[in-house]
Amino acid sequence: MNEPVDQREHGEEPKAPPGRRRALVAGSVGNFIEWYEFGVYGYFATTIAAQFFSPEGTGDLESLVKTYASFALAFFFRPVGAAVFGRLGDRIGRRPVLILVVLLMSGATTLIGLLPTYATVGAAAPWLLTAVRIVQGLSAGGEFGGAVAVMTEFAPPGRRGLYGAWQSFTVALGLLGGAGAAALLATVLSAGQLDDWGWRIPFLLSLPLGLIALWLRLRLEETPSFRRTAAGRPPGEDAARAPVDRAGPRATARAIALGAGRLMGWSAAGYTFLVVLPGYLQVALDASFQQALLAAVVSNLGFAAVILPAGMLSDRIGRRPVMVAGMVLVVLLAFPLMSLLQDGSAPTWAKGLGVCAAGAAVGLAAGPGPAMLAEMFPTDVRYIGLGLAYALSNAIFSGSAGLIITELIEHTGNADIPAYYVAATCLVSIGALLTLRGDAHRRPLREADHEAPPTRSEA
């Protein structure tokens, strides 16, 4: 059977597009800042609960639920940001929109470090925090689609999986950076200093990071795919018609829904094991702040170690087998890991190995995931399409993870709730991932609406 293949995959491209390395770095740096902040917020969840949601200044379970509710609210604004900024990015280009979102993201994160607490302004404190979180959610929604579009559209032949994996890798670096900052402060500051003012420092560090990201993105070039697509539009269409209309709204909506399903397990397991775990260990298992942070660092190290090799492997054997293997491993590990963490007699090294393995299993899905999404959409709607698929999946299954898990544990007393949550979502993702065609990684990225979109079994 003669399948259409990308001639560039066989080395026939005469000249590599310029600025690939610059695109990789500029695309990655915004992801680092975004996930650094989300990691810091998750790791300091109990402190934030006491500072912003509790008149008594104590981080009890009810205050922690409110903190995770604010966390989840920011995620529910991600799809709005993905739609607004994605539409702009598909019309005017990836570069200007990525510059805008990194300014919003780093500015909002820095502002959290300056906000007054409940002790200072009373009930206004949680509302101010929530308003800033909404801005973060909007900007973060516009970050993923543009960053992945830039990385994959600049990727050389046969390396989209690796280039896209850098997005997930900088997620891991951001979470590790947040955990490292929190652990360092917990070591050098007393508990009183940390609760009083020390928690602000990691948020304020976003300002210099944002300035570096801005400088890198100002030097970024527009992607070759977008330039070719923009040049091929009829006169006046680039300003008059939304790109989603050109590619077909129904086809785009179906691809977004399918993409969100394929990411569901990655989103839920990633946030449960990499971000929510510290709060779970402190509240449900009475672990210390330092022990919880250590678990987060170890799980994120396992996650980071696997991402780039998984992306490279998916360039060789396909996205489907690598991502399905990751989801199957998460299902198999979920309940044994909870039992291990709850066993007070289990050695520390065994618990460390368990959370590291869980992180690595998530990394198998996170490595090929960005390239898989990019391959589902044509250039006309790639920014908005993959951005919305990712944002919807994260809004429902990541941002709500801490809230759902904490609420269910509070009402049921069942400490195995995290295992049930990740196993159920991963099983759904496995079904959606099995619809991936085996040779999608060898095909060229679609650049125009006249190229027929894949069917559900081909997407």
Residue 73 lies in a domain: yes
CB-based contact 259:277 (threshold 8 Å): no
User: Range of 262's domain?
Assistant: 19-227+243-442
Residue 459 lies in a domain: no
Q: Which residues, given as ranges, of the chain have pLDDT below 50?
A: 1-16, 234-245, 450-459
pLDDT at 441: 86
Residue 1 lies in a domain: no
CB count in 10 Å sphere of residue 69? 18
pLDDT at 11: 42
C-alpha to C-alpha distances, 76 to 83, 387, 398, nearest whole angstrom:
12, 13, 10
Cα gap 186→178, rounded to integer Å? 12
Instruction: Copy the structure tokens of residue 120.
Output: 């200072």
pLDDT at 2: 42
Interval 30-54: pLDDT, tens: 888 888 887 788 778 778 877 887 7
Cα gap 260→135, rounded to integer Å? 22
Cα gap 11→2, rounded to integer Å? 19
Residue 174 lies in a domain: yes
Residue 2 lies in a domain: no
CB-based contact 272:134 (threshold 8 Å): no
Domain count, the chain: 1
Cβ-based burial of 103 (10 A; exposed 0-12, middle 13-18, buried ≥19): middle
| Helix and strand element counts for the chain (H, E) | 23, 0
Residue 455 lies in a domain: no
Cβ-based burial of 166 (10 A; exposed 0-12, middle 13-18, buried ≥19): buried
pLDDT at 233: 58
- CATH value at residue 152: 1.20.1250.20
Give the angle 236-237-243 at the CA atoms, nearest 5°: 155
Cβ-based burial of 421 (10 A; exposed 0-12, middle 13-18, buried ≥19): buried
Residue 415 lies in a domain: yes
pLDDT at 366: 94
What pTM, to 2 d.p., does this model score? 0.80
Interval 339-357: pLDDT, tens: 888 887 888 788 888 889 9
Residue 237 lies in a domain: no
